[in-house]
Amino acid sequence: MKREAKTSNWRERASTLQLRTEAFIDGKYQPAASGETFVCINPATGKSIGQIAACSSRDVDVAVASARRAFEDGHWSRMAPGSRKKILLRFSELIRKHREELALTETLDMGKPISDSLKIDIPGAARCIAWYAEAIDKVYDEIAPTPHDTLALITREPVGVVGAIVPWNFPLLMASWKLGPALATGNSVVLKPSEKSPLTALRIAEIAIEAGLPEGVFNVVPGFGHTAGEALALHMDVDCIAFTGSTRIGRRMLEYSGRSNMKRIWLECGGKSPNIVMADVADLERAAKAAAMGIFFNQGEMCSAASRLLVHESIRDEMLDRIVAIGESMAPGDPLDPATKLGAIVDQAQMNTVLGYIESGRKGGANLRSGGRRVREESGGFFVEPTVFDGVQMDMRIAREEVFGPVLSALTFKSLNEAVKMANDVMYGLAAAVWTRDLATAHRVAKSIRAGTVFVNCYDADDITVPFGGFKQSGNGRDKSLHALHKYTELKTTWIDLS
């Protein structure tokens, strides 16, 4: 009863929610110059929740010009770090204050469970902004050990106009991982949210102004990748692109840079992360839970998803039985139900991609242990069951390609060396995990896996204090932690002759 009451509360609030649907440029909401819009779909119902300004290169030009003007006038870029800190802390506080509205917006826009939006996405975004705010008046520059009659200062300056292009799986959180360090270091930002999830980015633009961010410092241009995204990445007056998205489009960012002004390109791309469970795992139940959450959390729409389970053959059945049981207890549900653990896939196209991979697994000879179907079709939404394949071989597509859905591929190994070889045998290198009681095994695996993060006896441990990003074709540079500040600053040497 109680739960139903809560779900209906969220539904009621959804029906009266005021959404921001226009571009935010130079401190104001405005329609696209062309007047064009695109439809925003709630993936839990398949129904429209709004028409969003479809920005093109004309809008991007205006937004970049505004960002440049704001950068040059120095109100933000040359503001004392302690003052920027105050404004960003207020920004973070206001995000927290609007937590429920933003969480609801995120859930309606991209289908994730309301409990996750409330507990993870929105507080995570607020914490990220606050963390960089707190950090920025505590980082010092350097003086080089040059000869006595010289002084060489090594300082960092904001890079200028940052274009941020982000995906739909954690819309506000991924945007915040760019906004936090980029704004704290004094840059202006033009944010291009995913066309599948533009709403929270549009809403926080006015919240930032309310917090005291000068107009033009933060602009949001919703639109498609091949229009707004391409215009931003090709723009001659954008100094840096901070991209999170697929490896295929990430590669294109590098081309755009080469074809335009050699802007800095930072890429957070896809993954096919191996989760290695050794025969000496201390707690099989915990490992199974983490393996299941590692692939089913956020409908499997996770760059760091534990999408490949590499399990020692001696414990395969025990491990898989447990994962299957957890998967079966996570049937997709209404994202507005606070008890729902698995929501809707972001849109029909992505659902079809996921179902296509499931089909390819079946046809390729993998063994479907559970799930595999679209469900809740009567809702009009796009829901896929938690799905587990075993008997997967490394030459299958479901062993090598990123599905970006709740689909686990289980492979077995006999020796540690074989596991490490399989782990490294993909083009990605975002995350990995090893479960073992043996300290030497843990360290050996951690050292031999080419990935940005290696978890030992856990999965998806997460904190703003640690860098996150990929080796190989999972990208370059790192989001989060103080290391992210480097992406948004240029290093300058100032030589002074004292003789």
Token couple for 309: 């389970």
The position carrying tokens 């204090």 is: 465
Q: From the list Mn ion, ligand NAD, none, pick the one residue 296 interacts with, judged by a Cβ distance below 5 to 8 Å according to partner type.
A: none
Q: From the list Mn ion, ligand NAD, none, pick the one residue 195 interacts with, judged by a Cβ distance below 5 to 8 Å according to partner type.
A: ligand NAD
Q: Which of positions 249-268 make contact with ligand NAD (CB under 6 A)?
A: 249, 252, 268
The binder of Mn ion chosen from 22, 59, 106, 109 (CB under 5 A): 109
Nearer to Mn ion, 40 or 53 (CB): 40
Cα–Cα distance measured from residue 256 to residue 264, given in angstroms and rounded to the nearest whole number? 11
Catalytic hit among 268, 301, 385, 402: 268
Q: From the list Mn ion, ligand NAD, none, pick the one residue 489 interacts with, judged by a Cβ distance below 5 to 8 Å according to partner type.
A: none
Token couple for 457: 């006896």
**Which residues, in sequence order, are bridge partners of residue 188?**
161
Sign of CA dihedral 317, 318, 321, 324: negative
Q: From the list ligand NAD, Mn ion, none, pick the one residue 50 interacts with, judged by a Cβ distance below 5 to 8 Å according to partner type.
A: none
Q: From the list Mn ion, ligand NAD, none, pick the one residue 109 interacts with, judged by a Cβ distance below 5 to 8 Å according to partner type.
A: Mn ion
Catalytic hit among 40, 55, 240, 303: 303
Structural Rg of the chain based on CA atoms = 23
What would the DSSP string read from start to end of 176-192? Answer: HHHHHHHHHTT-EEEEE
Q: Which of positions 217-236 make contact with ligand NAD (CB under 6 A)?
A: 224-226, 229-230, 233
Cα–Cα distance measured from residue 171 to residue 346, given in angstroms and rounded to the nearest whole number? 11
DSSP-assigned letter for residue 488:
G
Core vs surface per residue 353-377: b (16+ CB within 10 A) or e: bbbebbeebeebebeebbbbebebe
Q: Which amino acid is present at 198?
A: P
In whole angstroms, how close is the CB of 180 to Mn ion at the nearest point?
24
In whole angstroms, how close is the CB of 93 to Mn ion at the nearest point?
27
In whole angstroms, how close is the CB of 173 to ligand NAD at the nearest point?
9
Q: Which of positions 2-61 make contact with Mn ion (CB under 5 A)?
A: 40
Cα–Cα distance measured from residue 373 to residue 353, given in angstroms and rounded to the nearest whole number? 13
DSSP-assigned letter for residue 449:
S
The binder of ligand NAD chosen from 7, 92, 169, 273 (CB under 6 A): 169
- In the annotation, is 36 catalytic? no
- In the annotation, is 40 catalytic? no
3-state secondary structure of 46: coil
Residues 68-107: x where in contact with Mn ion by CB under 5 A, - otherwise, as a string: ----------------------------------------
Cα–Cα distance measured from residue 240 to residue 261, given in angstroms and rounded to the nearest whole number? 10
The binder of ligand NAD chosen from 213, 303, 311, 355 (CB under 6 A): 303
Question: Binding to ligand NAD by residue 404, rule CB under 6 A?
Answer: yes
Contact 303, 247 (CB under 8 A): no
The binder of ligand NAD chosen from 7, 244, 436, 476 (CB under 6 A): 244
The position carrying tokens 């292009």 is: 165
Cα–Cα distance measured from residue 195 to residue 55, given in angstroms and rounded to the nearest whole number? 10
Nearer to ligand NAD, 29 or 224 (CB): 224
Residue numbers at the binding site for ligand NAD (CB under 6 A): 165-169, 174, 192, 194-195, 224-226, 229-230, 233, 244-246, 249, 252, 268-271, 303, 402, 404, 430, 470, 475, 479
Residues tagged active-site? 268, 303
Residue numbers at the binding site for Mn ion (CB under 5 A): 40, 109
